Amino acid sequence: MSKVAKLYRMVTDEHICPYGLRSKDLLKREGYEVEDHPLTSREQTDEFKAKHDVKTTPQTFIDGQRIGGYDELREYFGKGEAGQTGTSYTPVIAIFSVAALLSLAYQYGLAADYLSIRTLLLFIAFAMTLLAVQKLQDLYSFTTSFITYDLLAMKWLRYGYIYPFVEAYVGIGMLAQLPAWAVAPFALFIGVVGAVSVFKAVYIDKRELKCACVGGDSNVPLGFVSLSENLFMIAGAVIMLLW
């Protein structure tokens, strides 16, 4: 006999509940035939909530037993919590991986040598630009996290708002191959200040903080990754000045 689950989810002209769709997909992947019951109006949704004494939809029923919403359904199937929870290096890994692929693709398009100083500079430039975009999405959240450990931003809060723009400028300037004197000093400055700040906060003061390197709402712990970002900027500046 096929396994059957009843799913009640909100589907109106104004709103289609994403967790209802996730619940439906999860049930299907677990081998259930889904009896889908769309709640097509606010009144119908409120009536359902009152009848079953629940505060939210979607709601799933299996064998006459109410399982609950999407999170409860995942727990029922032993899937754990949905989404990204706790500390995670996923955003940084994604950015650095894409930056590396972009630099290799760029060199491939030019039929140039992959293992070259230019490839390294491209990687640094792409990484800095992508990291800057993450910060610029929400400057307020970024600065709120950044000022808790950056030594200059602690003294002059506006530096936190300026930093992502300088980082973007350096990355774009490196890609455009602007003269070293026009780019390297900026990379060297923010890189040195950042490296010293992270080293002091993590390795001297032993503070447990979140890194603002991929934006203010990230769960990336402040530490080696944050220090690496700044060391890459310093390396890029030195290479530009000497190469």
Given a cut of 70, whether residue 86 has pLDDT beyond it is no
CB–CB of 67/61 below 8 Å?
yes
pLDDT tens-digit series, residues 97-112: 888 888 888 888 777 7
Sequence ranges of the domains in the chain: 3-76, 90-242
pLDDT tens-digit series, residues 42-75: 999 999 999 999 999 999 999 989 999 999 999 9
CB–CB of 57/42 below 8 Å?
no
The strand ranges marked E within 23-168 are 32-39, 59-62, 65-68
Given a cut of 90, whether residue 138 has pLDDT beyond it is no
CATH of 3-76 among 3.40.30.10, 3.55.50.30, 3.40.190.10, 3.40.228.10? 3.40.30.10
Tell me, what's the pLDDT at 88?
A: 64
- Buried b / exposed e across 128-153, counting CB within 10 Å, b at 16+? bbbbbbbbeeebeebbebbbebbebb
